[in-house]
Amino acid sequence: MSEQTRVLFLMRHATAESWGILGDRNRRLTQAGRTEAASIGQQLADEGIQYVAVSPAARTRQTVASLGLGVDVEPVDHLYGAGSGTVLDVVRELDPELSRVLVVGHAPAIPGLVHALAGDDSDAEALDLVSTHFPTGTCCRFEFEGAWADLVTARLTRTYRTHLPHKP
């Protein structure tokens, strides 16, 4: 397979309700969380995302539904409670025919992977937005050349978020 540009989006779920009697896995989005996700979805609408891998937790699945992207979504059991290495393993195992993918998961795995992947050629403003704070509903866009299986670093090109501090 020849080298091609791939685009990876890594997103932390939107704002969820506090822990309740149903437990962490069943925490749902708040109304504010649904609004956040819809806003991010509008920003991602023209990105041509082909596939979404999502943690099976209620709040991540609801985040994806609220994005309104209308693409194939696959719950990946081991994304719940995963570390950043496990998330990277999921990405490296993606179908080589895919070129634009979104992974929706949890902290600290998603923020950790964002920081691990961000190469020296990353956009300074996009990196600055997540350098000290990675709130719920944050989504980072990466580009790299090559196969998913070979992903080590990538160029962070944009950070989408609705929580302050927000820079357009």
Q: What integer is the mean pLDDT of 61-76?
A: 96
Q: How many percent of the chain have pLDDT more than 90?
A: 85
Q: Specify the pLDDT at position 165.
A: 47
More confident residue, 1 or 97: 97
Q: Specify the pLDDT at position 163.
A: 66
Asked whether the predicted pLDDT for residue 80 surpasses 60, the reply is yes
- Cut 0.85: pTM above it: yes
Domain boundaries, the chain: 5-160
Tell me the CATH architecture of domain 5-160. 3-Layer(aba) Sandwich (3.40)
pLDDT digits (tens, 9 = 90+) for 31-54: 999 999 999 999 999 999 999 999
User: For residue 108, is the peptide bond before it cis, meaning its omega torsion is within 30 degrees of 0?
Assistant: yes
Give the CA dihedral 30, 54, 162, 71, nearest 10 degrees. Answer: -110
- Say if CB 51 and CB 91 are below 8 A apart: no
